[in-house]
Structure 1
């Protein structure tokens, strides 16, 4: 899996995806590999493919902390897609799960991400209204 991660970091996305999907049936940590593959797809603006991989990663969770980790990644994808309100919802969900799992620092990190996503969402809506007022 580290090779896939390094290929992705080097921007060798096609190789990372190819090797990652070949490794998927044999890895002990399917969730992490699925999240790496989703991130590669995100960088290529292949939102649907990334979302499918995130959903597959969700099916591997065994604890609230595991689910929070995946929800955080989903929130990052939604933010990258400029779906700020949906991203905020995922970050809030991750924060709640991290809190329940006993990880207050990670919960706070996700609350901060949620607040940022809501600020961007509000600013974006304000710009839409301003543009509408001008027409």
Structure 2
């Protein structure tokens, strides 16, 4: 499984696609059952690539920070699912949108700041 850890591109691609599908599914409303199922497939792909990178990240002696990033990623996925499920049930989603944005910011910050992340300024 070295193709998952040689670069972070596979992981970044999966979570970008997942976020795009999530935004489309959340704005189309209750008519997005197929999108929701596709999004769940991408959840699995994000988690698999994330686990592979987490295992590789332990070589940098920053296991705890990579653990926080992994936990943040799981929380982002959880908030995405909560928004869609509560939206389908016509319940309020404001709190989950706020938590989604907060956890996404924290996870992206850690992901780009840690040694395996992308350096956009170089």
Q: TM-score, normalised by structure 1?
A: 0.33
Q: Return the structure number with greater relative CO, CA threshold 8 A, min gap 6.
A: 2
Larger radius of gyration: 1
